[in-house]
Structure 1
Amino acid sequence: MKIYHAIVYLLFAVLANSCENAFDYPIPPNSFEVVETDPPAVVTLEQQDGVWKMFVDGEEFYVKGVAANNFHDKGIQYGANTVRTYGVNDSTRATLDKAYAAGMYVNFGLYIRRETDGFDYNNQTAVDQQFQAMREAVLQFKDHPAILCWSIGNEAEASYTNTKLWTAINDIATMIHEEDPNHPTTTTLASSNVSHIQHIIQMAPEIDILSVNTYAPNLPGVLNNLATAGWQKPYMITEYGPRGTWQMNPEPDRILNWGALVEQTSTEKAQIYLDAYQNHIVANRQQGCIGSFVFLWGYQLHGEVLTWYGMFDKQGNTFAAVDAMQYAWTGSYPTNRAPVIQDRSKILMNGKRAEENITVSKNSTNTATVEASDPDNDPLTYAWRIIKEKSAAADGSLPNGIAGLITDATLPSISFNAPNETGGYRLIIFVIDQNNKKAASAVIPFYVE
Structure 2
Amino acid sequence: MLFFRLRNLNKIKVISILLSSSFLILNLLSCSRQTEKSTKEVYIKESSGKYSLYRNGQPYIIKGAAGYSHFNTLKNIGGNTIRIWDTVGLSTILDSARLNKLAVIVGLPIANSDYMALYNDSTKVTKQHNAFKAIVNRFKGHPAVLMWCIGNELDFPYKPSYNNFYQAFNKLTDMIRKEDPNHPITTTVLNFNKKYISNIKFRCNIDIISFNIFNRINYLRDDIKSATLLWRGPYMIAEWGIDGPWDGTLQTAWGAYVENTSNKKAEFYLNRYKKYMPLEDPRFLGCFIFYWGNKQEGTHTWFSIFDENGASSEAVDVMRHIWTGKRQGSTFPQIKYMLLNKKGAMDNIILSSHANANAEVLLLEQSKIKAIKWEVFKEDWYKENLHNIKKLKPLQNLIKSDGALKVDFIAPKEEGPYRLFATIYDYNGHFATCNTPFYVVADK
2:342 aligned with 1:316, yes or no? no
Distance 1:107 1:411 in 2: 43
Q: Please list, as runs of the form range in 1=range in 2, the aligned pairs for 1:400-439 lying within 5 A after superposition.
A: 400-433=393-426, 435-439=427-431
Deviation at 1:72, TM superposition (A): 3.9
Deviation at 1:95, TM superposition (A): 0.5
Other-structure match for 1:58 = 57
Deviation at 1:194, TM superposition (A): 0.7
Cα pair distance change 1:191/1:160, threshold 3 Å: farther
Mapped contact 2:369–2:424 kept (Cα < 8 A) = no
Other-structure match for 1:294 = 289
Other-structure match for 1:48 = 47
Superposition CA RMSD, Å: 2.3
Deviation at 1:40, TM superposition (A): 8.6
**Aligned mate of 1:284, from 273, 279, 282:** 279
Deviation at 1:275, TM superposition (A): 2.0
2:263 aligned with 1:267, yes or no? yes
Cα pair distance change 1:116/1:309, threshold 3 Å: farther
The one-letter amino acid of 1:339's match is: P
Of 52-61 and 165-174, deviating more is 165-174
Deviation at 1:132, TM superposition (A): 1.6
Mapped contact 1:297–1:312 kept (Cα < 8 A) = yes
Q: Please list, as runs of the form range in 1=range in 2, the aligned pairs for 1:364-443 lying within 5 A after superposition.
A: 364-373=355-364, 378-390=368-380, 396-433=389-426, 435-443=427-435
SS at match of 1:154: coil
Distance 2:358 2:177 in 1: 61
Distance 1:419 1:177 in 2: 57
SS at match of 2:307: coil
Cα pair distance change 1:258/1:175, threshold 3 Å: same
2:442 aligned with 1:447, yes or no? no
Q: Which runs of 5+ in 1 are unaligned?
A: 1-38
Other-structure match for 1:338 = 332
Mapped contact 1:139–1:179 kept (Cα < 8 A) = yes
Distance 2:310 2:176 in 1: 36
List per-residue Cα deviations over 1:67-86 (Å, max 9, x = no partner). Answer: 00332443112211000111
Mapped contact 1:166–1:200 kept (Cα < 8 A) = no
Mapped contact 1:307–1:398 kept (Cα < 8 A) = no
TM-score, normalised relative to structure 2: 0.84
Distance 1:287 1:313 in 2: 36
Deviation at 1:312, TM superposition (A): 0.4
TM-score, normalised relative to structure 1: 0.83
Distance 1:53 1:170 in 2: 25
Deviation at 1:225, TM superposition (A): 2.8
Distance 1:363 1:370 in 2: 22
Cα pair distance change 1:41/1:68, threshold 3 Å: farther
Cα pair distance change 1:381/1:158, threshold 3 Å: farther
Mapped contact 1:387–1:425 kept (Cα < 8 A) = yes
Deviation at 1:410, TM superposition (A): 0.9
Mapped contact 1:116–1:159 kept (Cα < 8 A) = no
Number of residue pairs aligned between Structure 1 and Structure 2: 395
Of 262-271 and 284-293, deviating more is 284-293
Distance 1:237 1:445 in 2: 32
The one-letter amino acid of 1:212's match is: F
Deviation at 1:130, TM superposition (A): 1.5
Deviation at 1:355, TM superposition (A): 1.1
Distance 1:71 1:119 in 2: 38
Distance 1:138 1:296 in 2: 25
Distance 1:129 1:160 in 2: 25
2:210 aligned with 1:211, yes or no? yes
Q: Please list, as runs of the form range in 1=range in 2, the aligned pairs for 1:69-218 lying within 5 A after superposition.
A: 69-89=68-88, 91-116=89-114, 119-157=117-155, 163-164=162-163, 165-204=165-204, 206-215=205-214, 217-218=215-216
SS at match of 1:109: strand
Deviation at 1:193, TM superposition (A): 0.8
Distance 1:160 1:68 in 2: 32
Deviation at 1:116, TM superposition (A): 4.6
Of 42-51 and 414-423, deviating more is 42-51
Mapped contact 2:151–2:187 kept (Cα < 8 A) = yes
Mapped contact 1:167–1:203 kept (Cα < 8 A) = no
Deviation at 1:135, TM superposition (A): 1.1
SS at match of 1:120: helix
Distance 2:166 2:389 in 1: 32
List per-residue Cα deviations over 1:275-327 (Å, max 9, x = no partner). Answer: 2222222x4343411001110000114x3333211100101011111111111
Mapped contact 1:194–1:226 kept (Cα < 8 A) = no
Mapped contact 2:352–2:440 kept (Cα < 8 A) = yes
Deviation at 1:222, TM superposition (A): 2.7
The one-letter amino acid of 1:404's match is: N
Cα pair distance change 1:373/1:158, threshold 3 Å: farther
**Aligned mate of 1:353, from 337, 340, 344:** 344
List per-residue Cα deviations over 1:242-261 (Å, max 9, x = no partner). Answer: 1112222xx4xx21122211
